[in-house]
Amino acid sequence: MSYFSFVKTELKNLFSKPATRPYPQQPRKYAERTRGHIENNMDVCILCGLCSKKCPTGAITVDRTGKTWSISRFSCIQCGYCVESCPKKCLSMKQTYTQPDAEKKTDTFVKPEQPAPAAQPAKPAADAAKQA
């Protein structure tokens, strides 16, 4: 049994840098493997639908006639099962987490017309879907 056994730690804490980070001024560094969110490179995607079949939560919807690939960001559990099963390797796991939101949103990626005009990327369409 001892008294004042915490004093050493307490004094060390007083004269050392804080263990926490001033977020959001200093954002955190993600590890290389951090599972943040799924991105799809629509130029390569063949809309085979394997990812939507494999997804444990059914977050991915593939529409072949409309040529769109959409993911419900709030259903996705970032397990990476779709990335593994993708035959064309167009799906990838990005490190940043999705933004918080007031409502459950779905991001839609549109397949560019073939032959693809050099830069008619999926991003603007995805942004438009976000605003809609």
Partner 1 sequence: MSKRSVVPFGPHHPVLPEPIHLDLVLEDEKVVEAIPSIGFVHRGLEKLVEKKDFNEMAFVAERTCGICSYMHGMSYCAAIEHIMNVEIPERAKYLRTVWCELSRLHSHLLWLGLLADGFGFESLFMQSWRLREKILDMSEASTGGRLISSVNKIGGQRKDVDNAMLRGFVEELDKMEPEIREMARTFLNDSAVRSRLDGVGVLSKEKAHELGAVGPFLRASGVPYDIRTTGYLAYGDIDFEPVTSDIGDSYARTVVRINELFQSIDIIRQVVAKIPEGDVAVPVKGFPNGEYMMRVEQPRGEALYYVKANGTKFLDRLRIRTPTFANIPPMLEMLKGCQLADVPMLILTIDPCISCTER
Q: Which residues bind partner 1 (CB under 8 A)?
A: 1-3, 5-6, 8-10, 13, 19, 31-35, 54, 56, 77-81, 84, 93
Distance (Å, whole) CA 76 – CA 93: 12
C-beta of 57 vs 120, nearer to partner 1: 57
Minimum CB distance to partner 1, residue 79 (Å): 5
Query: Closest distance between partner 1 and the C-beta of residue 16, in Å?
Result: 11
Which of 13/120 has CB closer to partner 1? 13
Q: How far, in Å, are 2, 34, 60 from residue 69 at the CA level?
A: 64, 23, 7
CA 78 to CA 66: how far, in whole Å?
25
Compute CA 121 distance to the chain's CA centroid, rounded to the nearest angstrom. 18
